């Protein structure tokens, strides 16, 4: 499989899970402020790092499940950024599915632009390095949030969410997840 097909396969699984959870829970995530979403991303990335180091889990979910969570929380963050906190709290499944697809399509475009320039270097990286990059991006987002979104020369919060999403997809591809049935 090529990168595009692998990416799409991973995203298809993540999106199906997200839509099923939305059917179960509605859009309860609409109540979350961006710093709360960033903290959820931190919890997931930190758990992955702990599992990578200790190699033992006492809770059912494994590393792949946490990377899927990172993908979906990044999409939530992008949707929240677009919708704002004062918007409608309850969104239809169709609306959520469209917004999810739009966010991922834009993020995939960014991935291809960067892959062109970097030559798919991620394929030679260690899985632990992808985890560390996600954690670094989370710390960057936290700092930008602490600065009320102001940056001097750095990319904004959305670009960091997109990078984290792409790193999580790369990790899932490296874990062989692109070969699983959604």
User: What tens digit of pLDDT does each residue of 33-59 get?
Assistant: 999 999 999 999 999 999 999 876 666
Task: Compute CA distances 52 → 19, 48, 64, 155, whole Å.
Answer: 29, 6, 11, 29
The pLDDT tens digits of the residues spanning 128-148 come to 999 999 999 999 999 999 988
Task: Compute CA distances 85 → 100, 139, 162, whole Å.
Answer: 17, 23, 20
Between the two ends of the chain, the Cα-to-Cα distance in Å is: 16
pTM: 0.91
What mean pLDDT is predicted for residues 140-158? 86
pLDDT at position 148 is 82
The pLDDT tens digits of the residues spanning 66-103 come to 999 999 999 999 999 999 877 778 899 999 999 999 99
User: In which domain, by residue range, is 48 found?
Assistant: 3-179
Q: Domain total for the chain?
A: 1
pLDDT at position 156 is 84
Which long-range CB contacts under 8 A does 97-105 form with residues at least 24 apart?
97/15, 97/19, 100/15, 100/18, 100/19, 100/75, 101/15, 103/75, 103/78, 103/79, 104/11, 104/15, 104/75, 104/165
């Amino acid at each position: 499989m090529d990168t595009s097909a692998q990416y799409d396969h991973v995203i298809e699984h993540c999106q199906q899970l997200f839509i099923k959870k939305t059917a179960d829970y509605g859009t309860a995530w609409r109540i979350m402020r961006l710093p709360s979403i960033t903290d959820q991303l931190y919890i997931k990335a930190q758990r992955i790092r702990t599992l990578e180091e200790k190699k033992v889990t006492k809770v059912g979910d494994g590393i792949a499940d946490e990377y899927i969570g990172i993908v979906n929380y990044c999409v939530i963050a992008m949707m929240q950024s677009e919708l704002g906190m004062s918007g409608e709290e309850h969104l239809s499944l169709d609306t959520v599915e469209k917004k999810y697809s739009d966010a991922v399509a834009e993020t995939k475009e960014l991935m291809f632009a960067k892959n062109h320039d970097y030559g798919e270097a991620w394929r030679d990286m260690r899985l632990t390095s992808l985890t560390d990059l996600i954690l670094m991006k989370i710390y960057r987002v936290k700092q930008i949030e602490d600065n009320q979104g102001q940056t001097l020369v750095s990319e904004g919060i959305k670009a960091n969410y997109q990078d984290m999403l792409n790193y999580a997809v790369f990790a899932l591809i490296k874990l062989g997840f692109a070969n699983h049935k959604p």
